[in-house]
Amino acid sequence: MGKGDRRTRRGKIYRSSYGNARPHVDIVTGAAVAKPAAKTAAKKAAPRKKA
């Protein structure tokens, strides 16, 4: 519990990271910043076997 603890707010500030303990908040509006949706790669169909 403290600077080395990644689960606490103080630990997140120390490591310059964000998470549930330290949500990334927009200072101007006070609203949480929406993370961009992860792009899903289109899956390529497996080549069909020739008989």
Mean pLDDT of 5-31: 81
Q: How far apart are CA 48 and CA 40, in angstroms?
A: 24
Evaluate whether residue 4 is within a structural domain.
yes
pLDDT of residue 17: 87
pLDDT of residue 35: 58
Structural domain boundaries, residue 21:
1-28
Q: What is the pLDDT of residues 25-41, one digit of tens each?
A: 766 666 665 555 556 66
Evaluate whether residue 47 is within a structural domain.
no
Evaluate whether residue 48 is within a structural domain.
no
Number of domains in the chain: 1
Question: Helix (H) and strand (E) counts for the chain?
Answer: 1, 0
Evaluate whether residue 43 is within a structural domain.
no
Evaluate whether residue 33 is within a structural domain.
no
Evaluate whether residue 20 is within a structural domain.
yes
pLDDT of residue 44: 78
Evaluate whether residue 21 is within a structural domain.
yes
Evaluate whether residue 39 is within a structural domain.
no
Average predicted confidence (pLDDT) for the chain: 76
- The more confidently predicted of residues 15 and 45 is 15
pTM of the model: 0.43
